[in-house]
Chains A and B, each alone.
Chain A
Amino acid sequence: MTYLAKPRLLTAKAPKNALGYTRRDYEGAVSTLCAGCGHDSISAAVVQACFDLDIEPHRVAKLSGIGCSSKTTDYFLGNSHGFNSVHGRMPSVLTGAALANRDLIYLGVSGDGDSASIGIGQFAHAMRRGVNMTYIVENNGVYGLTKGQFSATADKGTKSKRGVVNSDSPIDLVALALQLGASYVARSFSGDKEQLVPLIKGALRHKGPALIDVLSPCVTFNNHAGSTKSYDYVREHNEAVNRVEVILPRDRIEASYPPGSLRRVVQHDGSILHLRKLAEDYDPADRIGAINYLQERQALGEIVTGLLYVDSSGQELHGHLNTVEKPLNQLRDAYLCPGSGALEAINASLR
């Protein structure tokens, strides 16, 4: 019941992270989403990930578009600035914010309606531009907030709650992101916290555009037989290619694994990704291979999850633009204004 205020009780034993914060410090307002909504699990995973990584909440900027998923930014990181922008345009607003201050962490939350229809253009260009961000798509195959229309990620042949059959081909945001140059591409499932939390952690620590397509069933409009985004369907067809663990620079001990089963990726910021292989022939460093693998498995009705691709070279937009270390929004007048002397010289050159 969302009209009840969240209790501020805290047990003395609540675990604290390195900053002295508890999980509660990473939470936000009470969710107004339907009971059982997959998005709430994703919000919880974001909270857990930020807590585990010792992120200072106020150093995260959360941006979203319009839709049920876009509402979720209110339900976590209550001490972070949030921006619920306009439908399909979160990527541009986030890009602008990221340009202004390269030091913050940018988390973009969107849905399949927001990102694959009206927002498909901005999604694509954010990926190819190399914006340093974590982009979570909460993918349920429908427009929840407007009551159940198909979205562009709905599979062909699936049925709506009222029995309408979708005749359009689906957009695969993961495949698009791979094609367009995103440097961290993952797919997960809201019901698999063990898989999802490390993927979010890896993305938050990643330098470059990180996309996580999270299947997140809509219990009200798309959780029935005939849907390929329902809890049942996703559980039955989920094929994880790896399991990810994120080791921070401060963690000294890395668990060991049987040889050949682990891939170790050192990210640009020094954090380490342990990718424990589940699929024999899957290589997360091979972009083209990844695209092929996805297409092949998709044809067999499989939903491929895990960290599908990672490029840890750390290339991103600020690097391309060669901006100064200091955030642009902190540059004072003297660094920006050339002054009257320079202006006189300009005047002289124009006579």
Chain B
Amino acid sequence: MTAIPAIDSCNDFVIKFANVNGSGSASANELFARAIMRMGVPAAPRNIFPSNIQGLPTWYEVRVSEQGWSGCRGGCDMMVAMNPQTWDRDVAGIDPGGYLFYDSTKSLPRTKFRDDITVLGVPLTAMCNLEYPDARQRQLFKNVMYVGALVALLDIDCEVVKKLVADRYRGKDQLIEANVNALCLGYQYARDHLPCPIGLRVRRSDRVGDRIFIDGNSASALGAVYGGATVAAWYPITPSTSVVEAFSSYCRKYRTDPDNGRARYAIVQAEDELASIGMVIGAAWNGARAFTATSGPGISLMQEFFGLAYFAEIPAVIFDVQRGSPSTGMPSRTQQSDLLACAYASHGDTRHVLLLPEDPYECFSFGALAFDLADRLQTPVFVLSDLDIGMNERLCAPFDWDDERRYDRGKLMSFEELEAGKNFGRYLDVDGDGIPYRTTPGTHPTKGAYFTRGTTRNAYAKYSETGADYVYNMERLRRKFDTAKTLLPEPVAQPAAQPTRIGAIYYGSTAAAMAEANALLAAGGVHVDLLRVRAFPFCDQVIRFIEAHDAVFVVEQNESGQLRSLLIGEGEIDPKRLLRVLHYDGSPITARFIAGKICEAVTDCKLSPIAEVAS
């Protein structure tokens, strides 16, 4: 008997699976999450995996939320503890009143458990040894078996799970049968020996709607396909590798010439990141839409080429799936710490266009948009996601595409225009937006050729060392950057239910937890106007938002407050108006953390109802 009541919650809980990686658990855990979604209840699963191939701990955390909160909440209501190596910390991490599910084949001392949790044991190993002859089968089906037990415990609809199995192994009847058998064995044991259902339950709902379930990297890759990319040059690095793998897969399906089976694309795995970005720039210089995908360490390697593309004004699209940094950092943990490295990449006075998607839907739409922007602005465009978005499948709005939409290839002077004698200066501003015309090699026999270099030059691309030519160029680049502001995705504002002088700015994967935190705060009487930044350079709306509040929390997942620094510098904001809310231990930021920090600050600074903020 526990003094603390068992957690009682329908369609709203956090369940965490602790496994050994490489044991086949991912597939079974995903089956569990998908079943819940198929019942119309939104779920947000997240993989926490080690930087290793096999044998180290891995966790799979599923946030079940009828309301649709897709960020991490913080805390854990049920732990499926399948890894002896991490048992102690896994058990310690369960919220009081929570549930522990484990393999009870081997008996464990009482000290390994807690009095304030409900313990649910199923002798999985013993059952598998009885049922299956070989080691691999025993391992794989043990996972499916525990899913079966959970189905019984949480009152999940078994038919939904069976249908999922049938869908996954379509055409392979033996596999379907074997998996369903394992499921049923686990299910039956739980029904016969454990109190089903427990306090945590799933009940059919209709809150998933027409949303799709996909990871950010696949979405980015699809965005590249739809955005017209024909060249990809890349180097493998966690967590961006799957972007190009997905691109390759989509291209095989959608970019193979039906007449002759040949490829309407080229993907080259380069020898390193420098060669990758070099190829991208060469391809784009020659008129093909090109991209690479990398993470922090790759961004560092590519810095010189970023400066070349910036100064010589060549399009490029770079997907940076951010991870724990600096240096090799935490290769399989999430973070948002490449913002400054990308915004001001390379030596000298540079600035770069950044797109900041929050979820796979925006990875797709920003991914496609990036190519139009790169061609129009003749500059590198960075799409900054992170490991949390990139490597976890997430429910998001279905992708959409307007068939009337045409690629914006920007100011490319054609053969006809050159032939007609149109004045061409490669670095000449003709209409005040700072963007000159360019030509691609091979366009015209006697007109339009020029030299591309990283050195300074006059408006007609002739080498120059005069100060006036250099200053003209730099001022034109500044105008170009101002033009960029008008083309980028606008920030998304979510005003509070009541007037308030407190605001919060955030971006990317922070959005999911921020939304839930906002609801928690509002319920507690703290009202915050929200503004989600979606691109850099910042448009005026962002600066005006800050000016309209006494204090603005900048919520981000890095140690130094990089977005905050960018806002202060670019917006000439008094640092005291911007308060840091920073989470950077490699796990995704949680709603409880954000709400806690803001509440604490509001209380400490007596920011509510209204107070003077020292300026």
Contacts and interface: CB of A to CB of B under 8 A. Distances in A.
Interface stretch (A152-160, A251-259, A338-346): A338-346
A96 B442 contact: no
Interface residues of B, number: 70
Contact of B400 (A99, A125, A343, A351): A343
Nearest to A57: B445
Contacts of B308: 85-86
Interface string B277-317: 11111111111101000000000000011001000000000
Interface string A278-314: 0000000000000000000000000000000000000
B279 A82 contact: no
Nearest to A350: B212
A81 B440 contact: yes
Interface stretch (A39-47, A182-190, A317-325): A317-325
A63 B285 CA distance: 11
B401 A96 contact: no
A319 to B, nearest CB: 11
A175 to B, nearest CB: 20
A318 B440 CA distance: 20
Contacts, number: 219
Interface stretch (B220-228, B378-386, B578-586): B220-228
A95 B441 CA distance: 14
Interface in B382-405: 398-403
B170 to A, nearest CB: 12
Interface residues of A, number: 59
B441 A328 contact: no
A323 to B, nearest CB: 5
A182 to B, nearest CB: 16
Interface string B95-124: 000000000000000000000000000000
Contacts of B263: 321-324
Contact of A346 (B399, B441, B446): B399
Nearest to A351: B212
Contacts of B444: 58
B254 A99 contact: no
A89 interface: yes
A96 B286 contact: yes
Nearest to B231: A99
Interface stretch (A3-11, A231-239, A329-337): A329-337
B547 to A, nearest CB: 40
B451 A324 contact: no
Contacts of B241: none
A93 B407 contact: no
A325 to B, nearest CB: 7
A79 interface: yes
A96 B452 contact: no
Nearest to A318: B266
A84 interface: yes
Interface in A39-89: 56-59, 61, 63, 73-74, 78-86, 89
A136 B443 CA distance: 25
Given A59-B442, A61-B442, A324-B257, A96 B281 contact: yes
A168 interface: no
B393 to A, nearest CB: 9
A339 B212 contact: no
B576 interface: no
Contacts of A343: 226, 399-401
Contacts of A323: 262-266
A192 interface: no
Contacts of B280: 96
Nearest to A84: B453
Contacts of B493: none
B290 A100 contact: yes
A104 interface: yes
Nearest to B38: A351
Q: Of B226, B281, B282, B403, which is in contact with the most chain A CB atoms at under 10 Å from its CB?
A: B282
B264 A328 contact: yes
B271 interface: yes
A64 to B, nearest CB: 10
A117 to B, nearest CB: 14
A347 B275 CA distance: 35
Interface string A93-136: 11111111101100000000000000001101100010000000
> Top 8 A-B pairs ranked by shortest CB distance?
A96-B282, A92-B278, A100-B288, A96-B279, A329-B287, A93-B282, A100-B286, A81-B441
25 contacts: A61-B286, A73-B451, A82-B451, A84-B454, A85-B454, A89-B304, A92-B279, A95-B278, A95-B282, A96-B231, A96-B279, A96-B283, A97-B283, A99-B279, A99-B282, A100-B282, A100-B286, A122-B274, A329-B287, A329-B288, A336-B228, A337-B401, A338-B225, A338-B254, A347-B212
Interface of B: 210-214, 222, 225-226, 228, 230-231, 233, 254-255, 257, 260-268, 270-272, 274-288, 290, 304-305, 308, 398-403, 406-407, 439-446, 449-455, 463
Interface of A: 56-59, 61, 63, 73-74, 78-86, 89, 91-101, 103-104, 121-122, 124-125, 129, 317-318, 321-325, 328-329, 331, 333, 335-340, 342-343, 346-347, 350-351
Given A121-B275, A125-B271, A329-B286, 8 more contacts: A81-B440, A82-B450, A85-B308, A99-B283, A121-B271, A125-B275, A322-B263, A324-B263
